[in-house]
Structure 1
Amino acid sequence: MDLIDQAAASDLRPLLRGPSRRILPVVVLPLVLVSSCAAGVWLWANLEAVVEKPEARDVASTMSLSLEDRAALFEINWAQQKTGDEIAVLNSRINALRDDLKGILDQITMLTSRIDSLQSLTPVPSAASEPPLSPARAASSVARKRFGRSKPQGPVSVGGAPVIAGPKTAEP
């Protein structure tokens, strides 16, 4: 019995699948064609509204305005155009400055790499490699530290200003 059920089930599967695949293109293709034709008819009927320029609408709406309103609208449009031109000039200047900064950054990067390469090539001198001072020089430096510099006698200038000697008074 199992063999008969399997044979019957296998015979029914192709029969059940076959018609649904054939019906799909027959139903879907005309549906797509009808909907595209309807969209084309709607577009053709409303072509003027779709293609109409916004400027034509603006001109028609400005005709109903008073002279002062038209003048104000003209001034606003002129100011917008002037501002747009100024913004374009500023954008070009900003782009030029960005290019300059990029060049400077490239130079800094190049110099940094040169400095790093030079530092890696040059050995750092150590304190032990310096020759010791001779005894005579060591003694003179100690004497200089002990006695210090000689102090000047008389009036002393502060901050580099010239000292003007005033009249001397007699001492009691």
Structure 2
Amino acid sequence: MTDVIDQANASELPPVSRKSPRRVSWILALVVISVGLCAGAAYYWSNIETVFATSSAHEPVPITGLSPEDREALLQIRSGQQKASDEIAELNRNIGAQQTDLKRMADQIEALTAKIESLQKLPVPAPTPPVPSPPAAHSALKPAKRVVQPSKPEGPISIGGAPLIPERGTDQR
């Protein structure tokens, strides 16, 4: 007996694979059952309108052979079914209206996006140079500049680069 345990411990297989086959079969059975329940729920949910439509189409159970408590309970169940059916129909109408509104808004967003893209693709016009104004209008507004003439020099002036001759009567130093 200890040899089997030692062999299992020495095995390179992970501990999960050493579980008994009976445990694996239970897990497999639970997985199959849960998948089946999910598939059934999905089928029921997708065909819920037909289920309620066919359940209300059945002929009512004769009430005469039932006790008064059973009759009252049956009437309450029927009224609850009718109320639930009416609420489901109202919800379906609301969902349809919301889907219509959503489609309309999606179309508007698509149109606005197309307009924005077309505006972004337009070429930018080159800036036009400013129009020069006539110079006559500006000259009348500006004050005239005074021309400053140099003062006349005193003393001898050389004309044409000729040497200057000192005047008589001045001291030369």
**TM-score bracket for the superposition, by shorter chain length:** 0.3 to 0.5
Task: Flag the structure with more relative contact order, 1 or 2, with Cα contacts below 8 A and sequence separation at least 6.
Answer: 2
Q: TM-score, normalised by structure 1?
A: 0.45
Higher share of residues assigned helix:
1
Q: TM-score, normalised by structure 2?
A: 0.45
